[in-house]
Amino acid sequence: MSRNLLDTPIEYLKGVGPQRGDLLKKELGIFTYRDLLHLYPNRYIDRTKYYSINELNGNNSEVQIIGKIIHLKTVEQKRGKRLVATFTDGTGEMELVWFQGFKWIKENLKINTPYVAFGKLNSFNYSFSIPHPELELLEDHQKNLSSAMQAVYPSTEKLGSKISNKAMNKLMNQLLVETHQLFNDTLPKEMRQRLSLLSMRDALINIHFPKDPNLLSKAEFRLKFEEFFYIQMQLLIKNIARKHKIKGFPFKTVGDYFNTFYKEHLPFPLTGAQKRVIKEIRNDVGQEAQMNRLLQGDVGSGKTIVAFLSCLLALDNGFQACIVAPTEILATQHFIGISEFAQPLNLNIKLLTGSSKTVERRIIHEELESGELQILIGTHALFEDKVIFKNLGLAIIDEQHRFGVEQRSKLWTKNVLPPHVLVMTATPIPRTLAMSLYGDLDVSVIDELPPGRKPIETLHYFEGKRLAVWHFIRTEIAKGRQVYIVYPLIEESETLDYKNLMEGYEGISRDFPLPEYSVSIVHGQMTPAEKEVEMDRFAKGNTNIMVATTVIEVGVNVPNASVMIIESAERFGLSQLHQLRGRVGRGAEQSYCILMTGDKLSNDSKIRMETMCRTNDGFEISEVDLKLRGPGDIMGKQQSGTLPLKIADIVKDQDILHYARHQAVQLLKEDPNLEDETNQNIKNKLNVLNSKTTIWNYIS
Ligand SMILES: Nc1ncnc2c1ncn2[C@@H]1O[C@H](COP(=O)(O)OP(=O)(O)OP(=O)(O)O)[C@@H](O)[C@H]1O
């Protein structure tokens, strides 16, 4: 497309002007002609359908009726004045109503003249009305009707009557008249023909003024394809570039540490998935390029041993490794778990968290710089400037989405070359999202649980069943099992949150009294040391019940705990519920998760409870979560904001996403550097995109 005209500030478009221009800029972020062109409609109204008044019913939402105004009157009520027109089409009568702008309407409306009235239908006791209808003289309507399907723009909700939908349509028409000659295509003709894609020009015209439903769906397909195709092209090209350009330390040998542990000290036979993932990692770190791998494994799938074996690869090649976790509890758990694995190897492994003592810190700093310290495990305390590695070769980051971009890149600056990076997440990211967001990270998936695990049985109970639930807890404790009872974190109010938890704790302590039962508690207002003591009591089996807020959400590993009670479960998101449930079912016993809720549940909450009761599969759960919440909430605003999608929807349009990815892969196979004459416009568009897109800024 010609850049100049399409970059024209929006206020210069005929019909816009400074006032409307300001509205468009402020409310919709439309600054130029180009921005307006890509403001796509939300939906379409069939303007070929006319209703007669006697066929109206309460189910009609928007209607279009040909008729005449036979009477106009002003009605005064307590709530204010309104102007009411009696409108008839010969089959019946209805009302057209206005609450403002009376003078103009009275002066301009013609009595007993054919009009087309269009708008939202209100019904009350079998009488119908349209508030603030769009009215057009039938004569004009027949002359003007250029498109049977009329676009409704998202602006309608935001701008209301300031720029009506009709006015938006008019502006769009004006814009297309002025600019349509200038639309160059961004996809080669050969490709468009091969894939039966509309040209950009036809797609844009038909998305705003569809000639018929078939052309509309072709236009939508073309524009969605375009968005996905270019995202995938960027990701794939970046991936190729990374493999070539970002040099990393190659771990050439698989040495004594790895081999000894693998052959002699594995605490259990690895699952097929664990073996496969370790192979993928070994292959990556053996190359000259930096590894950037995302390791997805459902809760309890055994990521820790994979992390440990990866660390051994670094150590075998004379490098240090670190593991960073988002909370002290999790970092400590990793430290305990890894130290246990490492016992026979006599390694120097240390823990660094916010509550490490000054003396410990000094020792850690010194040993780290001298290279004596081999594996450092900790929280974001590792990102501090004082923490200097002699030669960090591998950084493992657990639950990455809790860290910011800058923090992660801080680890990079600690080296001449970047270390290999393994990002571990127990929150499965739906495949489609992973593909669109992490297309340039290599992904490994542990999709198999260790053998002998019994699926967790999940049950949903309303408050009225509490006594039965308590009875159940008693029988499980009598069998020697332990129980978690989790309360929601009420984000807006720490005090309320605390009060809730403490009340629960007091009740539980009353219902499960000493000496028969003992109850631990962990909450956000305790110091890390206090939390650790309580966690430790529970982990060692000294207490039967652990009462906690979501601080135990990730990483806690107490295989003997077989019951998870989640209080006010309707307050939790799906992925959080799944994480919490993952704290049980880690031993060989049958485990249970009980979701307690109030009686009144929203539809979404019902779906969440049903999903949890139906499946233990983290990927399936994350797909449902994605559908319920949309990608923004799952990934956090920062990340979803980076996806440049205006028309495509990563949930609904997954098929197009896969198709576009396939086409992008094929194209790059055939012409990796886009040198072919026919691919020049793709190259040009990528150049423009690369100069402004931020999609991966947070990854690299
Ligand atoms: N191949 C295996 N065979 C038997 N047990 C295993 C195997 N792999 C891991 N485990 C055990 O399963 C439990 C869960 O493993 P781990 O803590 O590594 O899970 P995870 O993937 O880190 O889960 P989470 O993210 O929930 O912490 C541990 O008790 C671990 O010892």
Backbone angles phi, psi at 267, to 5 degrees: -70, -20
Q: How many whole angstroms separate alpha carbon 407 and alpha carbon 401?
A: 11
306 CA → ligand 1 middle, Å = 10
**Pair 616, 456: CB distance under 8 Å:** yes
Dihedral, 210, 215, 219, 220 alpha carbons, nearest 10: 90
Q: How many whole angstroms separate alpha carbon 58 and alpha carbon 133?
A: 17
Cite the residue boundaries of each domain of the chain with CATH code 2.40.50.140.
61-139
**Residues 6 or more apart from 270 whose CB is under 8 A from it?**
278, 302, 305
pLDDT class for 193, splitting at 50, 70, 90?
Answer: very high
337 CA → ligand 1 middle, Å = 10
Cite the residue boundaries of each domain of the chain with CATH code 3.40.50.300.
256-285+302-425, 457-615
Q: What is the pLDDT of residues 501-515, one digit of tens each?
A: 788 888 888 888 888
Mean pLDDT of 122-134: 86
Pair type for strands 43-46 and 149-152: antiparallel
Cβ of 559 closer than 6 Å to ligand 1, yes or no, is yes
What does the DSSP assignment read for 622-671? HHHHHHHHHHHHHH-HHHHTT---SS--TTTTHHHHHHHHHHHHHHHHH-
pLDDT at 13: 93
Cβ of 299 closer than 6 Å to ligand 1, yes or no, is yes
Q: How many whole angstroms separate alpha carbon 75 and alpha carbon 183?
A: 52
pLDDT of 244 higher than 60: yes
Picking from 291, 251, 242, the residue whose alpha carbon sits closest to that of residue 421 is: 291
**Pair 92, 54: CB distance under 8 Å:** yes
ipTM over 0.90: yes
**Pair 573, 489: CB distance under 8 Å:** no
Q: How many other CB atoms are there within 10 angstroms of residue 252's CB atom? A: 10
Fold designation for 256-285+302-425: Rossmann fold (3.40.50)
Which helix (H) or strand (E) covers residue 350, if one does? strand 349-352
Cβ of 296 closer than 6 Å to ligand 1, yes or no, is no
Mean pLDDT of the chain: 84
**Residues 6 or more apart from 43 whose CB is under 8 A from it?**
151, 152
pLDDT class for 120, splitting at 50, 70, 90?
Answer: confident
Return the percentage of the chain with pLDDT > 70, whole number: 86
The CATH number of domain 457-615 is 3.30.300.30: no
Which helix (H) or strand (E) covers residue 370, if one does? helix 358-370
Picking from 326, 429, 401, 432, the residue whose alpha carbon sits closest to that of residue 636 is: 401
Which superfamily does CATH assign the domain made up of 61-139 to? Answer: Nucleic acid-binding proteins (2.40.50.140)
pLDDT of 554 higher than 70: no
Cβ of 426 closer than 6 Å to ligand 1, yes or no, is yes
Cβ of 238 closer than 6 Å to ligand 1, yes or no, is no
**Residue to substitute in 265, 268, 449, 554 for testing ligand 1 pocket (most ligand atoms within 8 angstroms of CB):** 268
**Residues 6 or more apart from 174 whose CB is under 8 A from it?**
13, 14, 15
Q: How many CA atoms lie within 13 A of 579 on its CB side?
A: 21
454 CA → ligand 1 middle, Å = 14
Residue located nearest, by CA, to atom 26 of ligand 1: 299
Strand partners, 4: none
Q: What is the pTM of this model?
A: 0.62
Q: Which atom of ligand 1 is nearest to the CA of 305?
A: 18
Range with lowest mean pLDDT among 1-5, 448-452, 480-484? 1-5
pLDDT at 439: 59
Residue located nearest, by CA, to atom 9 of ligand 1: 302
Identify which of 41-55, 367-381, 429-443 has the greatest average pLDDT: 367-381
Residue located nearest, by CA, to atom 3 of ligand 1: 450
pLDDT at 235: 80
305 CA → ligand 1 middle, Å = 7
Distances (CA, A) of 273 to 226, 249, 270: 35, 26, 8
